[in-house]
């Protein structure tokens, strides 16, 4: 659990998630859903309890270390570089992933291959943009994108790591009703 002064969030949670399953975490505002995700992904250290992934205790590990293990997340508020284009945001995500995998030199070499995809970075970016229906926004700056497109880009950026576990923090909050079903269709496929 994690406490914030007198408030205890994410208390008494015991969860075992099976491989290849889709699980939803439902609760009222303030119930501790984001705190739960933040603890799993290393953005918050629990005050008590432990978090285990594939038989390894990951409690308190840094977010980057946890991401290397295959646990990735999207954010309730998309974490994008607003002054960059959609394609450039993808390339930043790929660059971070390549560097985290120990393949440094991403930005100094011609066409690095992306681990797990075995393809050049530009091709991986375009493939993921296509998968999430974002190719028509490729050259638009992130700051001018509709809410649903921003959410999809945030999720697409996590997919460069080919995560074993993908945690989505309120993937449809703040988007129009028309966009909600489209986002969930993209994510579930």
The pTM score is 0.84
Q: Tokens 């999809």 belong to which residue?
A: 152
Distance of alpha carbon 145 from its chain centroid, rounded? 18
- The whole-number pLDDT of residue 108 equals 46
Q: Give the distance between the most distant pair of CA atoms in the chain.
A: 54
**CA 34 – CA 45 distance, rounded (Å):** 13
DSSP 163: -
**CA 114 – CA 108 distance, rounded (Å):** 14
User: Tens digit of pLDDT per residue, the chain (189 long)?
Assistant: 888 888 888 888 888 888 888 888 888 888 889 999 999 999 999 999 999 999 999 999 999 899 989 999 999 889 999 999 999 999 998 887 776 665 555 554 555 667 777 788 889 999 999 999 999 999 999 999 998 899 999 999 999 888 999 999 988 887 778 778 877 777 777
Whole-number Cα distances in Å, 189 to 65, 133, 182, 186: 27, 12, 11, 5
């Amino acid at each position: 659990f994690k406490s914030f002064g007198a408030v205890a969030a994410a208390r008494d949670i015991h969860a075992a998630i099976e491989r290849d399953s889709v699980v939803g975490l439902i609760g009222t505002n303030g119930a501790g859903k984001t705190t739960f995700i933040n603890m799993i992904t290393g953005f918050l250290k629990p005050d008590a309890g432990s978090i285990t992934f594939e038989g390894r205790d990951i409690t308190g590990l840094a977010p980057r270390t946890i991401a290397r293990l295959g646990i990735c997340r999207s954010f309730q508020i998309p974490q994008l570089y607003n002054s960059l284009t959609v394609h450039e945001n993808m390339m930043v995500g790929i660059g971070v992933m390549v560097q985290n995998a120990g393949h440094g030199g991403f930005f100094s070499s011609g066409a690095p291959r992306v681990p797990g995809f075995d393809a050049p970075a530009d091709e991986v970016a375009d493939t993921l943009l296509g998968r999430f229906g974002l190719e028509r926004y490729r050259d638009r700056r992130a700051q001018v994108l509709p809410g649903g497109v921003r959410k999809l880009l945030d999720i697409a950026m996590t997919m460069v790591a080919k995560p074993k576990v993908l945690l989505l923090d309120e993937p449809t909050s703040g988007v129009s009703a028309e966009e909600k079903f489209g986002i969930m269709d993209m994510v579930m496929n």
